[in-house]
Structure 1
Amino acid sequence: MWEVSTGEGITVAVIDSGVNPSSAALEGQVLPGIDESRRSGDAHDDYLGHGTAMAELIAGTGRDNSIQGLAPGAKILPVRIEMEESSGKFSDGESAVAGAIRAAADSDAHIINMSFGDDRGGGKLEAEAVEYAASKGKLMFAGSGNDRQKVDGEDDYNFPASFSEVASVGALDSQNAAAEFSSQGKVDLAAPGVGLPGWCDESFSSYCTNSGTSDASAIASAAAALIWAEHPEWTANQVLRVMLETAGKPVDGEVSTRVGHGAIRPRAVLLEGKGNPGDPDQHPLLKPAESAAPGEPGESGGGTERAGEPSDEDGDAADTVTVADPGGEGGVPVGLLVGAGVALAVVVAGGVTFAVRRRS
């Protein structure tokens, strides 16, 4: 895929705990950022290590035995917010998150990655910010959430992933099935999210093995960057549409509550020319009356009603995606090859030791 696209020319806004530009993997990759937190320093001061880890999965260069991200030609715009340590939740209220989303929407970023979430969101300010970002032509991804299954028989939604305009990304394990912790409910796509490398903490002294829908969202954002760089004339709606159309489908062929339309497959778009970009102004996750052309206000109000609803109620077989070539290209293990479409590009060389870290 990198012979076709590395994501060059695409900027991904990473709303998170900050991004450390001194990371070997991110040297020269990180733009001046936006700070929406209450902390000292600026968006280049990552107080958890989480934001830097997500940025490396997206755009790491692999320099000096560091992490090689999926879109090493992309640039990172850090937007720092308050997050709870190791939880992946935001802790500063919906107004702060709304401000971060609006700031990213007003930037030159093409894609907004939100590897965080909480059930405390979903309010009017956040909904309006998401709608505003969509109207500005931004493509938004967020993790579907960890360990959010059902409460009193109802799906426990994770925000901002559960807003209609945001592509909610579930995590896949090495068997190409929904990871046991990956939430069910509003899920649109799935990406690898188990056993990925990332910084253990804010000391940036060692890597850990991480798992979470945070990581899956970052991988999906990187895949979008690869596609958009090759098709710069497309809108965010068209990039997302081809990602949905070319996804490695759930085994029963229906939209699933835990893997959505299936596993991301940028290879199918970049090397096989698959996917019809369709209407540039119609958001593929919204009904026609709800979409707004870039620069115009929408009408969805950030609700959860979507163009297509999941078919399964309780998971099981529907939550495994198909793999066209399980053997992989050149012997790549099935766990690193999702839907014969995205061989995980996260590579750490030089005998780096990993500790196992709780999922983020």
Structure 2
Amino acid sequence: MPSCANVLAFSLIAAALSLGAGHTLAAPVLTDFETPEYLAQKGLAIVRASSLYARGGTGKGVTVGLIDSGLNAQLIDFKGRLSGPGYDFVGNAEGVIDKVGHGTQMAGLIAANKDGTGMHGVAYEAQLIALRFGDGEPFESDEEISRAWKYAFDGGARILSNSWANEIPITQADPVHYRAVMPYSMEVAQQLVEKGAVFVFATGNELKRQILAEPGLPVSFPALEKGWLAVVALDNKGELINDTANYCALGARWCIAVPGGDGGLGRGLLTTHKDGTYREAAGTSAAVAMVSGALAALQSVFPELSVQQLRDVLLSTATRTGIYSNPEAYGRGVMNLDAAWREAERQVVAMKQA
């Protein structure tokens, strides 16, 4: 999916000059934000993140809850990026560790610092609340997950990033069955969606034509849809669904496609590793982190809009041309942060003129 930088730069300047209300800008220069760090994380250019940075969308003042394997909080990439010590629900103690490394990878994609080294996150000035639950199957950690969601929400996070899912197809997750497997989480999810949270989930990496249980929950629990996003992974060129991603299928209405990359050297997304180096992550987990960061970056520009409203903006402005018009695979299309900014700006201007 090529990005026409010159056309985009011209359109940004025109938008800045034409706005009479809202977030009027001096003419932004996209190349100021397309640094070696930016280019090293290949997904940023595909979703047109620099167009959001040029308008001030860095995540500043927004908190994301990271519900995962933990985090190596000592890394320089997260200096100033953590909202408190986080919590380890395995050890039942403040602070987190990351034995697996998965959470540290996701944290980097969301909010690693822009500091001139390695890569930076989508929302490189956002705050993270890092929360660790068990390293086994999610259904084995139901109560831990429910407590982690509440902890993050109580700490100010309205974006809850979940790069995991139970390996249960949504077709088997009817209300009775799912409540039996994840009773605590189901109750908390329903409460927090009503309070304004957005849950971001991966479609899964089982190479199936159907979404997994958690990303597909609004199929069985329709009231969740307004606070739900499922994410399918593209390759790191943004051209095709990746090698293993499950399709959006029944979750197409709340599903969005984002680069997540594939396994193999040079095919993933560069991010932070728990040992302090930079390595590639791949799959729908990485794609979830991209979307969570994008929501934070958008909200830092548009505090007038709720996270649930910005979720709707991301879905409604996704690119749906060509192969991306197939909702079974790509849901609503490929995330486009330039188009999302324009729609959010239009809504804010309309609000102020009403």
TM-score, normalised to structure 1, is: 0.67
Return the offset for 1:277.
7.7
1:159 matched residue in structure 2: 214
Structure 1: distance between partners of 2:346 and 2:198: 17
What value does the CA root-mean-square deviation take over the aligned residues? 2.8
Match status 1:139 vs 2:194: no
Trace 1:42-53 onto structure 2 (pairs within 5 A). 42-53=94-105
Cα offsets for 1:28-76 (capped at 9, x unmatched): 1112244252237644322222111111111111325132111111111
8 Å Cα contact 2:133-2:141 kept in structure 1: no
- Structure 1: where are the runs of 5+ without partners? 281-360
Structure 1: distance between partners of 2:278 and 2:216: 27
Structure 1: distance between partners of 2:62 and 2:296: 6
Structure 2: distance between partners of 1:157 and 1:259: 15
Return the offset for 1:239.
0.5
1:110 matched residue in structure 2: 158
Structure 1: distance between partners of 2:135 and 2:282: 18
Return the offset for 1:126.
2.2
Structure 2: distance between partners of 1:140 and 1:176: 26
Match status 1:178 vs 2:226: no
Q: Aligned residues, how many?
A: 270
Match status 1:76 vs 2:158: no
Amino acid corresponding to residue 214 of structure 2 in structure 1: F
Structure 1: distance between partners of 2:133 and 2:200: 17
Report % sequence identity.
Answer: 25
- Larger relative helix fraction: 2
Return the offset for 1:107.
2.4
8 Å Cα contact 2:238-2:258 kept in structure 1: no
Amino acid corresponding to residue 2 of structure 1 in structure 2: Y
8 Å Cα contact 1:241-1:277 kept in structure 2: no
Which secondary structure does the structure 2 equivalent of 1:112 belong to?
strand
Cα offsets for 1:244-272 (capped at 9, x unmatched): 11111152675612321011111223367
8 Å Cα contact 2:62-2:299 kept in structure 1: yes
- Structure 2: where are the runs of 5+ without partners? 1-51, 219-224, 262-267
Q: 1:126 aligns with which of 175, 185, 200?
A: 185
Aligned pair in 2 of structure 1 residues 20, 65: CA closer, same or farther (>3 Å)? same
Match status 1:3 vs 2:54: yes
TM-score, normalised to structure 2, is: 0.68
Return the offset for 1:137.
1.0
Return the offset for 1:198.
3.1
99-108 vs 121-130, greater mean Cα deviation: 121-130
8 Å Cα contact 1:243-1:275 kept in structure 2: no
Aligned pair in 2 of structure 1 residues 236, 255: CA closer, same or farther (>3 Å)? farther
Return the offset for 1:175.
4.5
Which secondary structure does the structure 2 equivalent of 1:181 belong to?
coil
2:341 matched residue in structure 1: 270
